[in-house]
Amino acid sequence: MNLVNNYSKVIAAINKWKNISPSRLSFHNKDCCLGAYCWFIAMDQSFVVDGNVLRGPTWIRERWNWGPSKWPLYWCQIERLDALDCGALNALAMEAFSRRGLKVFPAQLIQTFPLQNIQHWRKKWETKGQKPMWILDDLVYHEATAVIIKDNIIEIWDPTDNWWILRQPAWGYGATLAIRINGTDSNHLKWKNMDIYINQWTIL
Amino acid sequence: MNKIKKRKNSLVIYISGLYSGPNPSPGVGIARSLRQAYPHAILIGVDYSPRSSGIHWHDFDEIWLQRPWDELDLEEYAFQIQNLLDSGAFWISGLDLETIWLANTLSKHPNLLIPPKEALQQTAKPEIQAHRDLPVQLPPYLRVSAHPDDEIHEFCRKYGWKVWIKGPYYEAYRVQTWMEFKRMCALLSNTWATDDLFLQAHVVGYEESIAFCAYNGDLLDCIYMNKRDITPEGKTWAGQISDVPAEILAPLQRIVKRLRWTGGAELELIRELDGKLWLIEWNPRFPAWIYGATLTGHNLPALLVERASGISGKPTQGMAKQFARIVIEVPVRSGFPLAPLSEPAAHLFGSSTKHPSGMPVLASRLKQRRIQRRSSPKLTKSFSEYDMQMIFEEIQKHNFNNIDTPHRIFLENISSYLFKHSAEAIAGASARGVPAVIAYSVKTNPDIRFLKLALEHGFLAEVISKFEIKKALSAGFNAHKMVLNGPGKWWPSYLNIDAASSFYAIFCDSIDELERLINDSILVSNISVKFIGIRIRPPWISSRFGIEVDDPASFKKLIKLRKKIDNLCLFGLHFHIPSHHIGIERWMNLYKSIMGWAKAFEKASGIPVGCIDIGGGWFPKDWIQVMLPSLEELLNTASANLNNLNCLILEPGRALVQSSMALVVRILEVRKSGSNIKEIVVDGSIAELPDIHNYPHRVIYRSKSGDFALIGRGECRVLGRTCMEDDVLFDNLELPSITQADDFLIICDSGAYDRSMSYEFGK
């Protein structure tokens, strides 16, 4: 696969996913969702054991498996679910970081995986009666949380894999190829010495 | 040596440290790197055991296998190495202790590629003095030999028992309890023949390293390695190599120059997400993963040899920026057949050898074993340690002449001080915010004298059974001054306590208990209570007590039940986690998270939380020096989170009583080895001191004639009177040389569970 091909594949993926908004959990405005939300926030606070609010909320992924979610998804539903998709996991992580007092932005990513992996994911979604709209050949749409570390410097927390995303130098297994960070009150951010302009896809 | 003679003009390089097991030495990695740059060099591997599997690696032309360190004549060995160096060979050591020995034994030689001894001193643990110009911090540490046991325990409490015990050379063990600490101390001390151990606080973050090579103070190359995979032993298994950031490189160059560093080195670091760096170790040799750096184009061993020899090596081409390690099998080298496995010893478990290069043996040869002995304790009539003066004054008043031992002494001035000071601190802090009150834990020490003190100072009584209710009533407490806790608070059912019908607070240990209280209408018909609440078990806490709130269904049910209570009384939350188990910092963070749970209850139910009960298990020193001074801040946090908070109950637990009692035991027998006292037998036992192994107890010696001494650390064991194998009260005391039968030991800090959980045995 040559570089030109790779580039045009990423462009095609961006075109496919450019109108997707970052996932958000819905709220019933009733006791059911209020209770679930209060429980979630208290849970997260319990895990800030050493007072370091930058510690990734790994407990979320330890509690929920990764799998298809039916949208719209309400706060009161999450406690009954075994699995959440990357958007739902990220909506929770965003809320956790934000309630710890950190400034966060939803990050949308395009990543690449081998087709033999993708086939399993496709089937997993289809078995649950859902269309895997997040897959395009060997590229996938993914969501994560951009957290301001200081000034306009961000790190990106991946709540599905429970790690801070690295900026890998090359196209390869699991590599992040493009990123869009959504926001309203900043122009540009810095991620691993790279300028990221808000609401624009950046090919890495 | 035939090959060496044949290739007379070649570089000859000796490389030591060939062990290639799960905790490998760097010898093989150095050889692989050098072979890449110098295909025709003669590489000679050096090790001290045929079990060091790196001797079979094909890049070595020869193996110079030595006998174990205890068989080596060190003078002869130094002479041989000196001759090799003089003949033009180079020596790169992959073993820390061998490096130290060589630096201290041989005079500086241009072919000896190790740091000078002054540089080794500057980079020795735990101070690592050379680090000062680098933008790194050292984790907090405490030298074990320089501090008494109670200060060591205090350090562990402070860091929540997230601490490592380390020796000066190799190995580190995580210790989580006092017993573990003592066991690992003994293990390290025996293995490395030193008492120069230190405790280091654990730092959470990402593991990274800097490796460099230098010659005579010139930094030749330097790389940064981010670990990407780590073995269970904490060793690098994969990593990414990158340039060293300029803010580290510039000061590192200056340090290397100042130290006149020669050879390889590795700085082990922990990085927090915000970039803060902690320096954990400065190793005076290449790391075992050094060939990983070579694969990325940074051949540090070759650069070192090139500078030392003046012979250029083949340029090293980088193949990647990342490396991974794998396990491979290699053919055994001809002439070095595998040794048989050691005979499995029936009294031991397993037969693996952890240190095949024999470093522990070298350690014991290098360092004359020295126990950090205080000279025989001075007999004195005054003590300067924290609160010891008060304890001593009180003990002095005691008549030891006709004392029936083992005998508990109630230390009135200590207990008065602790109760009074606590009451004043609480009164002072509550005057400015949420009212706070202390609940005295009857179970910790039900002695009537403590109960009276609690009553006098306006404390509540915290009780866990009807027996304790009765006890508190007999001491003068009204039921409405009692807090009921625990799973068996209504036990025994047959015991009727007429006077007890109106309690201050009841905290349920389970949802079932709360439901029973509400549904059986106990609250309405039989008793009234100001606060009813629940004990919660925070998510990451392992405990048999309280309601697990990490289950959202439990949380929902609690909200429903909480609404039912609303018309009966105010609602409360209780958590009780001993601060000495989880550490003070974590306890304080847990307190904040409990406020979070209280807020969640309020918000989800729409009904305010009226009371928070916080425990417990404070050590007296932490209570006085940390908890009480933080009280105002804690109360502010509470009122900032909970607008309708009516009361904050504090449970000091052992803090008020632990140092308020001492146990006097009589020495029955003194057992000597030569002139040293090895063991004594006393008439006390684990029956009177059931908590003896869980934390340090200070000990005072009193001779029959009335002389006193504060006892330090030594090698004498104190055996209890019973015939139980584990009835060893102390294993490391230093007793005065005049110690004899019928003298006394006064075992302090035994006023809490040592008293309340003591039992009749062998009497």
- Which among B204, B552, B588 is the nearest to A79, CB-wise? B552
What is the Cα Rg of chain B in Å?
Answer: 32
- Contact criterion met (CB < 8 Å) for B590 and A49: yes
Angle between the B552-565 and A31-46 helix axes, to the nearest 10 degrees?
Answer: 120
The DSSP 8-state label assigned to residue B357 in this structure reads: T
pLDDT in tens, B88-132: 999 999 999 999 999 999 999 999 999 999 999 999 999 999 999
The mean pLDDT value for A97-112 works out to 96
Test mutation, B159, B555, B594, chain A, max A CBs within 10 A: B555
Establish, for the pair of chains A and B, how many residue pairs have beta carbons separated by less than 8 Å. 75
DSSP classification of residue B627: I
Question: Any idea where the domains of chain B sit in the sequence?
Answer: 2-130+205-324, 140-201, 388-410+658-756, 433-656
CA distance A62 to chain B (A): 12
Q: Give yes or no for B547 touching A (CB within 8 A).
A: no
Q: Where does the pLDDT of residue A96 fall: very low under 50, low under 70, confident under 90, or very high at 90 and above?
A: very high
**Other beta carbons less than 10 A from residue A182's beta carbon:** 14
pLDDT at B5 over 60: no
Locate the chain A residue with the closest alpha carbon to B228. Answer: A166
Out of B589, B601, B604, the one facing A49 most closely (by C-beta) is B589
* Inter-helix orientation angle B178-192/B359-366, to 10°: 80
Q: What is the DSSP letter of A55?
A: S
**pLDDT score at A171:** 73
* Cross-chain residue pair A34–B555, CB shorter than 8 Å: no
Residue B347 has pLDDT above 80, yes or no: no
For residue B7, name the pLDDT band (cuts at 50, 70, 90).
low
A102: contact with B, CB 8 A cutoff: no
* Chain A residues whose beta carbon lies within 8 Å of the beta carbon of residue B553: 79
Calpha distance A182→A193 (Å, rounded): 19
For residues B199 and B155, is the Cβ–Cβ distance under 8 A? yes
CATH code reported for the domain at B433-656:
3.20.20.10
Residue in A28, A31, A34, A39 to test binding to B, most B beta-carbons within 10 Å: A39
Contacts by B369-375, CB closer than 8 A, 24 or more apart: B369/B193, B369/B194, B370/B194, B370/B195, B371/B195, B371/B714, B371/B715, B372/B145, B372/B146, B372/B195, B372/B713, B373/B713, B373/B714, B373/B734, B374/B712, B374/B713, B374/B714, B374/B734
Is the pLDDT at B528 greater than 90? The verdict is no
Does the pLDDT of residue B379 top 70, yes or no?
Answer: no
The C-alpha atoms of residue B688 and residue A55 are separated, in whole angstroms, by: 45
B589 vs A: CB within 8 A: yes
Mean pLDDT of B354-375: 66
> Which residues in chain B are closer than 8 Å to A51, comparing Cβ atoms?
585, 588-589
The answer to whether A59 faces chain B, any CB pair under 8 Å, is yes
Nearest chain A Cα distance for residue B605, angstroms? 8
Inter-chain touch B596–A149, beta carbons under 8 Å = no
A91-95, B177-181, B333-337, B550-554: which has the minimum mean pLDDT?
B550-554
3-state secondary structure of B402: coil
Percent of chain B at pLDDT > 90 equals 77
**Average pLDDT of the segment spanning B140-156:** 94
Q: What is the mean pLDDT of residues A118-141?
A: 95
DSSP-assigned states of every residue in A21-43: PPP--B--SSHHHHHHHHHHHHH
Residue A122 has pLDDT above 80, yes or no: yes
What's the pLDDT score for residue B215?
Answer: 98
For residue B551, give the amino acid letter. D
- Which is the CATH superfamily of the domain at B388-410+658-756? Lyase, Ornithine Decarboxylase; Chain A, domain 1 (2.40.37.10)
Q: Give the number of other CB atoms < 10 A from CB of residue B66.
A: 17
Q: Is the dihedral of CA B17, B20, B24, B28 positive or negative?
A: positive
Average pLDDT, chain B: 91
Is it the case that residue A68 has pLDDT exceeding 60? yes
Q: Are A179 and A14 in contact (CB under 8 A)?
A: no
Strand partners, B174: B164
Each residue of B238-267: pLDDT tens digit? 999 999 999 999 999 999 999 999 999 999
Spatial distance between the Cα atoms of B45 and B375, rounded to a whole number of angstroms: 46
Distance from CA of A37 to the nearest CA of B (A): 9
User: How far apart are alpha carbons B355 and B192 in whole angstroms?
Assistant: 11
Q: pLDDT-derived band of residue B370, with 50, 70 and 90 as boundaries?
A: very low
- Closest by CA to B439, choosing from B587, B583, B610, B616, is B616
Model pLDDT, residue A93: 98
Contact with chain A for residue B656, Cβ under 8 A: no
pLDDT at residue B3 tops 50: no
Q: How many Å apart are CA B630 and CA B215, to the nearest integer? A: 53
pLDDT one-digit tens code per residue, B657-707: 999 999 999 999 999 999 899 999 999 999 999 999 999 999 999 999 999
Return the pLDDT at B357: 73
Of A46, A76, A95, A145, which to mutate for an interface test with B (greatest number of B Cβ within 10 Å)?
A46
Question: Given this model, what pLDDT does residue B374 score?
Answer: 45
Start-to-end Cα distance in chain A = 17
DSSP-derived 3-state class of residue B321: coil
Q: How far apart are CA B170 and CA B512, in angstroms?
A: 52
Q: Which of B540, B549, B552 sits opposite A36 (nearest CB)?
A: B552
DSSP labels for A117-130? HHHHHHHHHHHTT-
Long-range contacts of B374-377 (CB under 8 A, 24+ apart): B374/B712, B374/B713, B374/B714, B374/B734, B376/B734, B376/B736, B376/B737, B377/B701, B377/B709, B377/B710, B377/B711, B377/B712, B377/B734, B377/B735, B377/B736
CA angle B353, B355, B359 (to 5 degrees): 145
Please name the member of B555, B590, B592 whose beta carbon is closest to the beta carbon of A39.
B555
* Residue A31 tokens, joined: 């006791």
Measured between alpha carbons, how far is A197 from A181 in angstroms, rounded to an integer? 7
In this complex, do B321 and A164 lie within 8 Å of one another by their Cβ atoms?
no
CA-nearest residue to B275 within chain A is: A149
Q: Which of A41, A51, A52 sits opposite B596 (nearest CB)?
A: A41
A82 and chain B in contact, CB less than 8 A: no
Q: Kindly determine whether residue B549 and residue A39, on different chains, have CB atoms separated by under 8 Å.
A: yes
pLDDT at A170: 66
User: Can you name the CATH fold of B140-201?
Assistant: Dna Ligase; domain 1 (3.30.1490)
Q: Looking at the complex, does the CB of residue A43 fall below 8 Å from at least one CB of chain B?
A: yes
Say if residues B301 and B32 touch (Cβ distance below 8 Å).
no
DSSP code per residue over B487-516: TTTT--TT---TT--EEEEEEESSHHHHHH
CB contact under 8 A, A54 and B603: no
DSSP code at position B420? H
Q: Residue A30: closest CA among chain B residues belongs to which residue?
A: B604
Pairing between strand A188-191 and A135-136?
unpaired
B272 touches chain A (CB under 8 A): yes
Using CB atoms, pick whichever of A34, A46, A50 lies closest to residue B204.
Answer: A50
Angle between helices B584-605 and B149-158 (to 10 degrees): 30
CA distance B63 to B429: 73
Query: Could you tell me the CA-to-CA distances from B39 to B60, B92, B289, B295 in Å, in that order?
Result: 11, 17, 20, 16
CB of B586 less than 8 A from some CB of A = yes
Q: How far is B459 from chain A (nearest CA, A)?
A: 30
Flag whether pLDDT at B43 surpasses 70. yes
In this complex, the residue of A31, A39, A47 whose CB is nearest that of residue B600 is A39
CA distance B137 to B131: 8
Please classify residue A115 by burial: count the beta carbons closer than 10 Å to its beta carbon, then call 0-12 exposed, 13-18 middle and 19+ buried.
exposed
DSSP string, B58-99: TT-SEEEEPPPTTTS-HHHHHHHHHHHHHTT-EEE---HHHH
Token pair in block for residue B638: 């509470």
Q: Among A46, A51, A54, whose Cβ lies nearest the Cβ of B539?
A: A46
Residues 6+ apart with CB under 8 A from B61: B3, B4, B42, B43, B44
pLDDT value of position B9 = 63
Q: Which fold has domain B2-130+205-324?
A: D-amino Acid Aminotransferase; Chain A, domain 1 (3.30.470)
- Note the pTM of the prediction, 2 decimals: 0.90
Residue type, B698: R
Tell me if residue B601 falls in helix, strand or coil.
Answer: helix
Any A CB within 8 A of B592 CB: yes
Q: Output the pLDDT for position B450.
A: 98
Q: Verify cis geometry, omega within 30 degrees of 0, for the bond prior to B232.
A: no
The first and second tokens of residue B580, run together, are: 């000495």
> Is B274 within 8 Å of chain A by CB?
yes
Contact between chains at A46 and B538 (C-beta distance less than 8 A): yes
Given CB atoms, is A86 within the 8 Å cutoff of chain B? Answer: no
User: What is the structure's pLDDT at B658?
Assistant: 96
The ipTM, to two decimals, is 0.91
**Contact list, A103 vs chain B (CB under 8 Å):** none
State the amino acid at position B34 in one-letter form: L
Judging contacts by C-beta atoms under 8 Å, the chain B residues touching residue A31 are 604
A42 close to B (CB below 8 A) = yes
